[in-house]
Structure 1
């Protein structure tokens, strides 16, 4: 049996691919270190010993599941979802299970479930269940939801209808599609044979009619919201808005799209959609990543943009000495992204960024710029973007940084990018492709997955896609990792590196800022210990210390492989430094285990060196072998020997 949800996800990933999958890819998908992956593979192989399969590993290729008794293994897979994920869950995992169960009942229209029924499902006592329900209530409290008793029918989720819908959609993103299957089944019960096909058709027609283009993530989410509207209305659940909110949403330009979509659905299935539901859909379309296709309506100069974007780019120029005010591509696409992200923050709408770990590891400097941009948004709008949205914003800055280094060259082949994760990703991929293949490649368009067809294929020389396409034509190239070095080699071109001075880099380390066998219990106590030492040696002020803590809360600095890299650039830092703390034992740092902490402080006078130093550190420290060598260091000289072997970027 599998008593660990992460192991269940791992077995799901491995059984859904026929190819080898590297440990690094598994780390990014599951958000854990390579050491954890190796441990999980070992545990899974112990489970699979008598289940007709095993997980093999090949050097330089990765992991693959090998089945030698198909019937036995298929029987094992069938049983996983029935019972195995229930046993040996932690209290927090059981609390999450309770929430998912109650959300499932909401979708199905089931009024309640008794505590005895829940305890039986979880194989625990009633007293244990009561503690788990308390924990579940504390989780729900953060979004103004609760668990209440329903006479003799048991318990149910209670609270604002919009919050319940938001949580249903959020869990559909997070829980391996279980709630999505429940919603799809309820949707099918209402619509019969029409199901999802006509929803997709109506949505596509209206996107084209109003000359907009959705990212694939936004497209899928709007389909999901439409389903939720119909299912919840069928169960006599609807949204209520006050007059002020109604007026604001009715006057929003996206209201016409939502109204047209709802009118088309009513005509198709002869079900009346309430006015408030049109407003609900308007809110989510407004919070989605839409790109206007009418080129006459696209902003071309900064002077025409709003004050917020002007302030963001001005502040970035002051802090990093980077002038993006003439980058019309950044202005055209970052502005709409920020507006949509602000609406998401305002309305409490979450969007998942599946590439967040990849962005942290490969584009740390762009992420820092995005965090600075978020600080301006918080200052002027009073809103904090989610870490996922900050990550997407970082992709826009990563593309802008690439544009500052490369000029467009002549091309001999026309290509289209098919990208499923949004505008920032496609822009970044476009810039990198043009930079590395500038004498051979002309990117004529970037399109979402749902727009791809054979006509598109026939009109270009190459299709470069971030999602596998059913068409196996030689024109199609599948890019998995935003064009890293292996993928550039796949397209037969050598990656160009910008080199930094290794001697200058090593000088940032100081023996009195090197700490070994550090005994701490959590993230905050670790940062507190290091920053107190830095204050003692006059490297930072108390104000800088607080900024480091604030930075950590915006987006965690753990990058996997037992490493965290807190950092700050501040005018109160007179001398740049890198403090090193090797912990005696790994600690929990947000959702990762960490044993090596590298705290970077960069003086504003060194801001030109900030990017190469940060990237050089990241590029080397994501190698688990390097990390292990650093952790083994018993003194500063041994540590320096490891650093001297760092590769240039």
Structure 2
């Protein structure tokens, strides 16, 4: 995880707004851990720097950037991104202080640091306070008093980890390693087909090693676990590189320094082309068992059958390098972890379960960056599974005002359906039930009572494509249940629910007592088997299924039904109190799911509700199944499907 940034906050805000196109003030404030007022001040400063070439506009708390003069904007943006004033931000001042302390043999006076940076003493003291918090993450400390002198205390290995993960560009950005040395390393490593990131990471480690060696700061001690690397192919490779560098630069690289140089290779992110490393990498029993335990945990907790198939090999290799990183303290930055967590909610939930398995198995702590990498693999699985499960869709278009109107409707539909969708045109006067029964969906501009097994949607002659797209997307999933769609409803959960599986619970009872009541009612109506309650109880004892402070999500295998059973219980608020638990989604999973894509969508929708306080509040006020239907009729955009 990065604790320092080479760019100041304003630069990072500009990049974020450019990448996201639109983003709320609160989201920026949360990401950079500052107040909304600070964000607004930074954006005001940015607008001044942009000099009319672009405008970052704030409408109702949402920032959007409007580019007015593209050429001028690109020129100014480049200048903003390339600012090199070394001490123009707390991050750069802290990097300067750290560099001084890590290279000083004597304690460094606070006044001397302030003088060299041309800042006030109070500024240095403030920077030191922030630094101490960050250094704790690397078991490093700044000892001494500001008046008597300061010194950096900690192992050389941890100092290097801190520098490489956070400060390399700020400290070594101007350091030039001889081109012939870089070419030498490249020639030796070419056969392994390392990605650019891995190669650059090794070069950075080599630069830091050479600088520290030449300045008398060597790695004197390493824990016993690093001795295991002496038998690895990565160490053999580093030995070859080190021998060649020694001859070229006439220096000596000790064994412990060579072990350090092996870390960026042994902990690399899985390369795009694994063929170069596959002959050398041994997939241990520990890694294989870990992968199996992760897939079993996801099956147990979420009912999803993960068959990674084409990406299994890649995932196993990723796990092998991940285990190395966790074991030897190597951290890699994941620049898109926030986007992964936001876009692939179910995949991220699966990755959090994987993290739990890994942390308990290896007795380690995983960073959010690593969780994001695992989520990316599960995101690929979900996306590819949905593509594989998709089927050719047949749509009948009925129009009563001539073929040209029907063609106009059909042309609009082409912007909604994929290229494999069959769209046929019919007149209302000639179409029959036998014809319509052959289609998955019927879209009609004529209000008529068509007797057909297909879902019918009535349209205006010119319709809102986005609204219809959302409606159809929901229907396509609902169709896999062989259930009729509820007119006007876009929620899959709502389409599975019915009056029998909807409950207003008793706020005088405990959470578990309410869950028992729901299960007993479902059992009496034939929805779940007689062992369902006991399985839920055992799962609660092992690990609570309370999703967050407002939502509980008890779920387990159901042997009574071949289809997914979803029940919703609403806990009314007590008078004058704000009870935390408001919604209970009770889910019975068939022993063998016919289609995991539907289950993924259900999870996605529940996670979306859990992250939306307004939706939770609205649903918690519903007092009957009829009110639930009326609520969704009025607010049919409540879920982002």
Q: Same fold (TM over 0.5)?
A: yes
Alignment of 1:362 onto 2:343: yes
Q: Is the 8 A contact 1:568 1:602 kept in 2?
A: yes
| Contact 2:233 2:280 (8 Å CA) reproduced | no
- Alpha-carbon distance, 1:22 to partner: 0.4
Give the Cα separation in 1 of the matches to 2:581 and 2:244. Answer: 56
Partner of 1:55: 55
How far is 1:107 from its partner? 6.3
The reply to whether residue 207 of structure 1 matches residue 196 of structure 2 is no
Who is 1:503 aligned against? 494
Match in the other structure for 1:183: 172
* 1:312 corresponds to which of 271, 294, 299: 294
Indicate which of 336, 339, 347 corresponds to 2:317: 336
What corresponds to 1:645 in structure 2? 637
Distance 1:29 1:217 in 2: 28
Which residue of the partner structure matches residue 605 of structure 1? 589
* Length, aligned pairs only: 494
Match of 2:217 in 1: 237
Which residues in structure 2 correspond to 1:37-436 (within 5 Å)? 40=39, 44-45=43-44, 48-49=47-48, 52-53=51-52, 55-57=55-57, 62-64=64-66, 81=85, 85=89, 99-106=94-101, 112-118=107-113, 133=128, 136-149=131-144, 154-172=149-167, 179-185=168-174, 187-188=175-176, 191=177, 194=178, 197-198=179-180, 200-209=182-191, 211-214=192-195, 216-241=196-221, 244-245=224-225, 247-291=227-271, 292-293=274-275, 297=279, 306-324=288-306, 327-407=308-388
1:42–1:156 Cα change, 3 Å: closer
Deviates more, 1:73-82 or 1:262-271: 73-82
Further displaced range: 343-352 or 502-511? 502-511
Aligned to 2:396: none
Deviations 1:95-136 (A, max 9, x none): x7775343232566685532224567696665x966874664
Deviates more, 1:327-336 or 1:276-285: 327-336
Aligned to 1:9: 9
Structure 2 SS opposite 1:166: helix
SS across alignment from 1:334: helix
Query: Residues of 1 paired with 2:213 and 2:334: CA distance?
Result: 30
How far off its partner does 1:166 sit? 0.7
Q: How far 1:402 moved relative to its partner?
A: 3.1
- In the aligned structure 1, how far is the partner of 2:352 from the partner of 2:621? 34
1:206 deviates by 3.1
- Measured in 2, the distance between the counterparts of 1:114 and 1:149 equals 10
* Contact kept in structure 2, 1:31 and 1:357, CA below 8 Å: no
8 A Cα contact 2:6 2:170, kept in partner: no
> Residue in 1 aligned with 2:605?
616
Once the 2 structures are TM-superposed, how far is the Cα of residue 164 of structure 1 from its aligned partner?
Answer: 0.8
Q: Tell me the SS of whatever aligns to 2:233.
A: coil
1:357 CA displacement: 1.4
d(CA) in 2 for partners of 1:38, 1:505? 45
Can you list the C-alpha shifts for 1:598-634, whole angstroms capped at 9, x where unaligned?
9875545389665212323566898xxx877888999
Q: Matched residue of 1:499: which SS?
A: helix
Distance 1:213 1:78 in 2: 28
SS at match of 1:63: strand
Taking the aligned partners of 2:554 and 2:620, their CA distance within structure 1 comes to: 29
How far 1:225 moved relative to its partner? Answer: 1.5
Indicate conservation of the 8 Å contact 1:362/1:619, yes or no. Answer: no
- 1 or 2 for the larger relative contact order (CA 8 Å, sep ≥6)? 1
* Pair 98,255 (structure 1): closer, same or farther in 2 beyond 3 Å: same
Q: 1:298 to 1:613 in 2, by over 3 A?
A: farther
Q: What are the superposed Cα offsets for residues 541-571 of structure 1, whole Å, 9 maximum, x if unpaired? A: 898599569x99xxxx9xxxxxx99876655
User: By how many angstroms is 1:385 displaced?
Assistant: 2.4
Change (3 A) 1:23 1:315: same
The Cα shift of 1:250 comes to 0.9
1:344–1:640 Cα change, 3 Å: farther
Provide Cα deviations, 1:38-83, integer angstroms capped at 9, x if missing partner: 9835752367559844624499994146688999999999999567
* Aligned-partner SS, 1:393: helix
Does the CA-based 8 Å contact 2:291-2:316 persist in structure 1? yes
Secondary structure of the residue aligned to 1:55 is strand
CA contact (8 A) 1:28 1:357 kept: no
The secondary structure found in structure 2 opposite 1:223 is helix
Distance 1:336 1:295, change over 3 A: closer
- Alpha-carbon distance in 2 for matches of 1:627, 1:246: 48
Give the superposition deviation at 1:393: 1.0
Larger Cα-atom Rg: 2
Closer/same/farther in 2, CA of residues 437 and 220 from structure 1, 3 Å limit? farther
CA-atom RMSD in angstroms? 5.7
